[in-house]
Amino acid sequence: MSRLVIFILCSLVFFVGSPNDAKAANPKMTQQQWLMFEEPRFELALTSHSFSNIVPVSQLFKDEWKEQPQSRADQAFSQNSMSLAYQAKHYHIGVAKRLDYFLSTTKQTSDAYYFIEQQQAPHRERFPVSLQMEQLQATGVFGGYTFGDDQFRVTVDVGLWSLDALRRSRLSGEVELNLNDEINGQLQLDEVYSHNNLLKRPNNDDWQERGKGVTTDISFFWSPLSPIDLTLSINDLYSKYKVNQLGFSQGRVSTDNVYVNDQGYQSFLPLYRGVELEKNVSYQLPKTVLFAAAYQGERFSYLLNAKVQGDLNFYEFGLSTALGIGNLSVLYDVKYQAPTIMYQTARWDLLLKANRLNIEQTMQLAIQLAFRW
Per-residue pLDDT reduced to its tens digit, 250-301: 999 888 755 555 665 555 556 788 999 999 999 999 999 999 999 999 899 9
Residue 297, pLDDT score: 92
Per-residue pLDDT reduced to its tens digit, 26-50: 334 444 444 444 578 999 999 999 9
Give yes or no for a contact between 79 and 52, defined as CB atoms under 8 angstroms apart.
no
At residue 173's C-alpha, the angle toward residues 170 and 174, to 5°, is 135
Please state which of the ranges 7-16, 212-221, 266-275 shows the lowest mean pLDDT: 7-16
Please state which of the ranges 102-106, 110-114, 169-173, 369-373 shows the lowest mean pLDDT: 110-114
Between residues 265 and 130, which one has the greater pLDDT?
Answer: 130
Residue 141 contacts by C-beta under 8 Å, 6 or more apart in sequence?
A: 93, 94, 95, 96, 159, 160
Q: How far is CA 78 from the centre of its chain?
A: 3
Q: Is the dihedral of CA 275, 277, 280, 282 positive or negative?
A: positive
Residue 359, pLDDT score: 86
Average pLDDT over residues 321-325: 94
- Which DSSP letter does residue 313 get? E
pLDDT confidence bin for 20, thresholds 50/70/90? very low
Burial of 316 (0-12, 13-18, 19+ CB in 10 A): buried
- Res. 2: pLDDT tops 80: no
At residue 48's C-alpha, the angle toward residues 47 and 54, to 5°, is 165
pLDDT confidence bin for 117, thresholds 50/70/90? confident
Average pLDDT over residues 179-195: 86
Residue 37, pLDDT score: 46
At 312, which amino acid appears?
L
The whole-chain average pLDDT of the chain stands at 86
Total length of the chain: 373
What's the per-residue H, E or C state across 213-234? EEEEEEEEEECCCCCEEEEEEE
Burial of 274 (0-12, 13-18, 19+ CB in 10 A): middle
d(CA 314, CA 332): 10
Give yes or no for a contact between 334 and 315, defined as CB atoms under 8 angstroms apart.
yes
d(CA 354, CA 56): 11
- Res. 208: pLDDT tops 60: yes
Average pLDDT over residues 216-221: 97
